[in-house]
Amino acid sequence: MIRVLPAGIRLIPSGNHALGGSGHLVRFNVPQFGNPYTTFAAWFSPLEYNERMLFGMDLYDIWFSCGGVGVNTGCGDVYGFALSGLSAGSHLLVASLPSTYPNSTYPPVIWFNGVRQTLTQLCGSPCSRSVGNPVRIGGWTYNDSYQLDGVVVHFFVWNRLLTDAEVQQLYNCGWRDPCPPLDGLQVWIGSDGRDRVADASVLISNARAMWYNSNTGDGYIYAEVYSGATTSAEPPNSPYAFIGGGIIPIEHAWFGAGGCGGIPASYRSINIYRDERAHQAPYWVLRMGGPATNFALVYKMNVYLPQSGTYTIEWIPDDGFRLYIDGTLVIDDWIYQGPSLKSAQVTLSAGWHSFVVKFFEGIGCWSLIMGLVMPDGTPVRPLLPVYGIRIRPG
C-alpha cells in the first residue's frame, strides 16, 4: 500500500459529505455547549460556496448567501458580513454563537481569516433558534439543499467565546500546523480523521471515518499556483509570481487535454482524459486566481513506499515537468512539448519519502499526469498527489 499523510473532509453537494466514501453525513455530537457562547471554527477550501452552508446545528447554521456569510436561522436570513469572490485557497472562519439567537445581549461574533467582522442584517428576519446537537459539517442538519462544495481540513468547537488574540494566533499558525487554544476545546476533527480531544476516530452517522475519493476511495492534494512559464527557471524563483495555495479534491489534481492525444488508455480510465474549457487551465486553477495560460503548479506530498527496489516513474507532460524525491531532482523534463507517455527508473527504499512535482504550461493543450510501477510490477496509475491519504495500487 502506498500512502501519504491524511488531509481532510471532502464535501460534495449530493448528501454524501464524508470523511470517507461511506456515503454517510458528517454529523457528530458536541460534548458540552457553552453558555452564553459556543465557538465553531473551520479551515476550509471552497470550490463553490454561494448558497451553501459551512456548518449547521440544531437549529441554525452559517450560510454563504445574500452577498455575504453569516448566521441563518431557517427564515431565509443572513446576519453577517459582505463577502464576494472567495478564492479556492484555504480560509479560516471562526464563529462564536449564542446559545439562543437572536440575542441582543450576546450577539454573534464572526472572524474571517483572523479578522473580526462587523455584522449587519444582510437579508431576511431571523426566527428564534437554539444551538444543539447534532452538528453537521458542510450543511444544515435537517436540509440537504445547501451543501458546501469543497474541503474542510480542520474543524473545532469550544464551549466559550474566543478572544481576538486567540483567533489571530489560530490563523497565524495556519491549516497545516494548527494551534487551537485548549481552554474549553470540545472537538477538534483533525486532518487524520480523528477527534484529537477525545483521541478517537470520528463517528459519522454510525459509520467510522474513512477518506473520500471519487475514483479510489480517498484523497486530496495541496497545490500551489504561480503565474509564469519559462524553461529558464522553475517556481518559486523569478520570474514566477505566487498566486495562492490550498487543498483541492484528488479528482481535480491530474488532468489531460483531450484534443491533443498522447494519453494511453491506462490513464484515460481514471477520469482524467478531458478537455476543460477548451484550452484554458483547469477550473480550480482559475478559481484560485491563476491565469488561463502561462501558469505553473507545485504539488507537495509525503509518500510511504511499501517496497524497496527499482520504481518506474511515468509522466505525461505538457509542458514542463520536474520531480524531486527527498530534495533530489530525479526527473528533469522542463521543456515546451506536447503530451506523451514517458518513464524513468529510480531506486528507492521502503518507508516515507518527500515528493515534490513542479509543472508549467504555456499555451494550447496541457497535461499533467504521473504514475508509477512498483518493484513487484504493481501499477499505481495515477500516483495521487495528495497531501494526506493512503494510495491503493491497481
Q: What does the alpha-carbon distance between residue 15 and residue 138 come to, in Å, rounded to a whole number?
A: 10
Q: Where are the alpha helices (DSSP H) in the chain?
A: 164-173, 265-267, 283-287
- Beta carbons of 99 and 131 less than 8 angstroms apart: yes
**Domains in the chain, please, with CATH?**
9-208 (2.60.120.200), 220-391 (2.60.120.1560)
Q: What does the alpha-carbon distance between residue 91 and residue 114 come to, in Å, rounded to a whole number?
A: 9
Q: What's residue 245's pLDDT?
A: 82
Q: What's residue 244's pLDDT?
A: 86
Beta strands in 180-277 (DSSP E): 185-189, 194-195, 200-201, 203-204, 207-208, 220-227, 241-249, 255-256
**Cross-strand bridge partners of residue 39:** 96, 158
Where do we find the cell 508509477? Answer: 372
Q: What does the alpha-carbon distance between residue 61 and residue 63 come to, in Å, rounded to a whole number?
A: 6
The string of pLDDT tens digits covering residues 207-265 is 333 333 333 334 566 789 999 999 999 999 999 999 988 766 655 677 775 456 666 76
Q: What's residue 48's pLDDT?
A: 78
The grid coordinates listed for 131 are 444551538
Q: Three-state SS for 93?
A: strand
Q: What does the alpha-carbon distance between residue 77 and residue 72 come to, in Å, rounded to a whole number?
A: 5
- Beta carbons of 313 and 372 less than 8 angstroms apart: yes
- Using 50 as the pLDDT threshold, list the residues of the chain that sit under it: 1-8, 10, 12-24, 204-218, 258, 270-275, 277-278, 385-394
Q: What does the alpha-carbon distance between residue 278 and residue 298 come to, in Å, rounded to a whole number?
A: 23
The grid coordinates listed for 24 are 454517510
Distances (CA, A) of 356 to 14, 216, 381: 33, 22, 17
How many Cβ atoms sit within 10 Å of the Cβ of residue 358?
A: 22
Where do we find the cell 497535461? Answer: 367
The grid coordinates listed for 198 are 477525545
Judged by phi (left if over 0) then psi (alpha if -120 to 50, else beta), residue 285 lies in alpha
